[in-house]
Amino acid sequence: MTGAPLLSVRGLNVRYGAIQAVRGIDFTINAGEIVAFLGANGAGKSSTLNALVGLVPVAGGTVRFGAADITHLAPERLAPMGLTLAPEGRRVFAGLSVEENLRMGAYAVRDADRRAAAWEMVYDLFPILQERRKQFAGTLSGGQQQMLAIGRALMCGPKLLLLDEPSLGLAPKIVGQIFDLIAGLRDHDVTLGIVEQNVAMALEVADRGYVLAGGRIVAAGTAQELRQTDRLQAAYLGED
């Protein structure tokens, strides 16, 4: 089911001034996989994702996407290559309509047929977005905004989609819905990297996972293995 490495990260370092958020981590995401990044607040998960897409500078290490070295590429160069991030806190454009948000998601796609296919896929996955397409994104509920954030990211036809805390601030029932949709993305040839606090949910959809603590990877394995290991609990309780 899983293919060649799509994203390989070696010795990634992220610094904010004197604070080192990520301390030389290595990991890979293979084509077709869903990979979860777990860990407590401040473990370096979001910093890792933000560094991958160029939103925060990489202080050391290399990031390869397919055959290309993308370590120091600007964020706007990545969507055309097929790598994008649905950021933490959804961050939909509140003053734009749902339709305009999705249109912006496809900004980098020049081919009209590919754009049409993306519209069809997103409206198919999230019928509510089609229903609400004229509405301002700011007027949507939290769950709908998360669907829009994921839909918007899908509009560029990504090979690899990174999701940062898709369950954050959502009601439990909605979280279940969102994760069902995430699991369904497998059928659309999208590889996924998910940062998530909701460990149970994340391990349910993921194939593999990495556990971070203090900016390092402290455990790695299949979802099955991680569910059984006590390293996970240790990472959350800060016993490292």
Site residues, other proteins (CB under 8 A): 53, 55, 74-80, 84-85, 87, 91, 93-96, 100-101, 103-105, 107-108, 138, 152-153, 155-156
Count of CA atoms in the C-beta half-sphere (13 A) of 227: 12
Rounded Cα–Cα distance for residues 238 and 114 (Å):
46
Least distance between other proteins and beta carbon 79 (Å): 4
Q: Which is nearer to other proteins, 75 or 238 (CB)?
A: 75
Rounded Cα–Cα distance for residues 55 and 105 (Å):
17
Contact predicate 189/175, CB 8 Å:
no
Q: Which is nearer to other proteins, 75 or 127 (CB)?
A: 75
Least distance between other proteins and beta carbon 78 (Å): 8
Least distance between other proteins and beta carbon 210 (Å): 22
Rounded Cα–Cα distance for residues 61 and 26 (Å):
9
Least distance between other proteins and beta carbon 153 (Å): 8
Rounded Cα–Cα distance for residues 75 and 231 (Å):
34
Q: Which is nearer to other proteins, 115 or 227 (CB)?
A: 115
Rounded Cα–Cα distance for residues 152 and 98 (Å):
9
